[in-house]
Amino acid sequence: MSEDTIYLDHAATTRPFASVTQTIADTQRQLFGNPSSQHAAGRAAKKLLEDARAFLRGSLGAADLVFTSGGTEADQLGVVGPAFSRPPGRVLAAASDHAAVLGLERVLAARRYGLVRVPVTPEGDIDPETLFEHLGKDVRVVSLLHGHNELGTLCRLDELVEVVRHVAPEAHIHVDLVQSYGKIDFDLDLAGVDSVAVSGHKLHGPRGIGFLATSSTARYQPLIEGGGQEGGRRGGTENVPGAVGLARAAERMLTHLGRNAEHCERLAARFFDAVVDEFPDAMRLGAQDRRVPHILSMRIPGVVGQTLQQRVDTRGLSISTGSACHDGKSGTSHVLEAIGLSTRDAREVVRVSFSAETTYDEAERAVDILVAEADRLLHLAGGASR
């Protein structure tokens, strides 16, 4: 990226902290031993790996933690693994859930498990009463998206967990924490859930590393068999530099969690207020009182989101039209369909996401660019410009 680029797509990925990249480089070069080896180099790498594991596990109040290649694998291990350790039955997930979970339908069906997409509210989350109606003794896993990656909505976790424990107490509750870990305080034990998934590159850590943290009672089958690494729960030589880098990033994010959250909330509010000043019919999507601090999903009627994203990109502003897992692909986002937007309205949605490193100056310059380009598009379409 050019030094002049304003990057506001942090829900897709973040730039690693300089201290993280330096830690990774040092580990790669100096502590490169295989953590399964019994010699001094292997033991040194093993200690780094276990220190990182202990820190991350403790940061969530978890009993155990398995490193994975990222959030997608962690989600799949947290959904398919527990399901396959139980008799065939149903797996529940929100109709607006991430593709990492909804894409498991065929995998589950091959073993006679059914993935049920639970309808969601206009804010993109599951209503506790709706979840109650879908629960039963045959439910093996309930997957919940804590902070929505496209809309920013925070699910009503306490209420949802209470309903599951009452109706299907044997079900495994998995929570996708990819957008909220390091940004919102979370304790797995206090939340009463069985597993959570985290991805390093969403919190200024490295790509290619994530983890599944679990409770003391969680049981699941491994998805990747191998040489007994990760206590037999995931085969393959561990990514020690990645694990160390993730722990370093998490430590910094958690140390400044409150300050960072307030900073991102202010940026998002000021950005949207500036948009509304120019386009009074602009709408912010997602729950207004329950959301992660860094995501702003909005719709400017009459302005096609993909066209707006392309135009601001030529002026050095990076935003998105939704999840990077489908951004740029044809068709309407399943998320926007799930919350009831028409095809036309869904085409007008863009997502702007901030980080602790985003400055007020960057946000102000960014909104000027976005407003100007949106105004030009309305003018070209013959609509009312500002």
The residue written with tokens 């490295």 in the block is: 206
| 266 Cβ neighbours under 8 A, 6+ residues apart | none
Residue 147 is classified by DSSP as B
Tell me if residue 325 is catalytic.
yes
Nearest to 246 by CA among 13, 12, 23, 8: 23
Report yes or no: 163 and 169 within 8 Å, Cβ to Cβ.
Answer: no
SS3 (DSSP) at 66: strand
Report yes or no: 74 and 208 within 8 Å, Cβ to Cβ.
Answer: no
What is the distance between the alpha carbons of residues 28 and 19, in angstroms, rounded to a whole number? 14
Q: How far separated are the first and last CA of the chain, in Å rounded? A: 31
What is the distance between the alpha carbons of residues 336 and 359, in angstroms, rounded to a whole number? 30
Task: At 16, list the tokens.
Answer: 């690693």
Instruction: Name the helix (H) or strand (E) containing 210.
Output: strand 210-214
User: Which of the following is catalytic: 95, 99, 224, 325?
Assistant: 325
Bridge-based pairing state of the strands 90-94 and 114-118: parallel
Catalytic site residues?
325
